[in-house]
Each structure stands twice: as structure tokens, then as C-alpha cells.
Amino acid sequence: MFGSQSILPAVNTMKDFEQVMERDDDFFVVLDIHLSMLTTMRKFANEANKKMLLHADLVQGLKSDRYAAEFICQSIRPAGVISTRANMLKTAKKSNLLAIQRVFLLDTMALNTSYQQIKTVEPDVLEVLPGILPNYIHKVRTETGIDVIAGGLITSEQDVQGALDAGAKAVTTSRKDLWNV
């Protein structure tokens, strides 16, 4: 899915984006960015043969509705969409984009709610947050049969290795010091 890439650099500034464009990585994640920057980012990413995974819930300037989902999937066309929203993920799947569902490990009720949504949406990948809970990374992967990436609160090489050892296919992080792990 992500080839041999086990770290998915996450960017939330244009300076970070420029650094990612110079790296050998194929995939990168866009967080918390203004709507007006997305077309430019996608254009440069395509020219550099990079695959943008867009955290759709974090795009500044878009509502969380069907129209936003259609705009992202039809006009921006990232390689994949990361979201907690079923309508966004279903639209991504219909548009043949990678649909990555965020799963927050807050408590048992939140996890069970996520399992219900997973059955409805049938995402391609799950992003488990926080990514520092190896037992739950393994549990979610085993319970759903869906590949997992880990993100959130990853602050060390040990966190990265723990997530990968637990079965995560990759780790998302905005910490530049971990992009080369």
C-alpha cells in the first residue's frame, strides 16, 4: 500500500511541504491547511510524483458536508482522504481515492462506535490515534482485518518502532526529526 515507506511525513505549513517535496518519500499527509493552498500543493505533488493524503476534516475554510466531500474528491483529487466522517469516506471510495478512517482510542464506547462505522464505510485503511498504544493497534487490525496506520503522540523512535511492531503499516508524524527513522 505505502510500499517500503513506514513513515508518512505530515505537513501543516508550506515550509514543511517544500521539505517533503525534496524527499524520496512517495506519500505524505496534509494537515490543517487553508483551502486556498490545496490546488497548488496537489499540482506540485503531482509534478514531483508524490501522493498526497489529505486530512479532510482539518481543511480550513470548508464545511463538513457533502459538498465539501465532492469538492475535495472531484476538484482537489488527492491520492487519499483521511476523515472521521462517513460521507467524506464514502465519497472518496466512490471517487476511487484511498479512504482512510480515523479511529480515536478514547474509551471502549468510542472504539465500538468506530467499529460500527467501519462496517458501514468499509474504508481501505484505518488511522489509529493515539499511535502509542501498540496493544490497541494490534487489536484494531485483528478485529477489523483492515490495514492500520498509527498517528498522534508519536514523539520518539521507540514510539515509531512500537507501532510498527504492533502491526501498523506506517506511522504519520509531523515531527521532522522522525521523518528519517
Residue 96 Cα distances to 21, 90, 91, 122, 145, angstroms: 24, 10, 9, 13, 20
* Nearest one of 81, 87, 80, 138 to 117, comparing CA atoms: 87
Q: Read off the pLDDT of residues 51-73 as tens digits, 9 standing for 90 and up.
A: 999 999 999 999 889 999 999 99
Task: Tell me whether strands 170-173 and 27-30 are parallel, antiparallel or unpaired.
Answer: unpaired
Q: Read off the pLDDT of residues 28-41 as tens digits, 9 standing for 90 and up.
A: 999 999 999 999 99
Banded model confidence at residue 1, pLDDT cuts 50, 70, 90: confident
Is pTM beyond 0.85? Reply is yes
d(CA 159, CA 153): 8
Report whether pLDDT(172) > 90. Answer: yes
Domain residue ranges in the chain: 7-178
pLDDT score, position 64? 86
What percent of the chain clears pLDDT 70, i.e. is strictly above it? 100
What is the number of alpha carbons within 13 Å of residue 101 lying toward its C-beta?
Answer: 28
Report whether pLDDT(148) > 90. Answer: yes
Q: Which CATH class is domain 7-178?
A: alpha beta
pLDDT score, position 58? 94
Q: Read off the pLDDT of residues 86-124 as tens digits, 9 standing for 90 and up.
A: 999 999 999 999 999 999 999 999 999 999 999 999 999
d(CA 162, CA 141): 15
Mean pLDDT, rounded, of the chain: 97
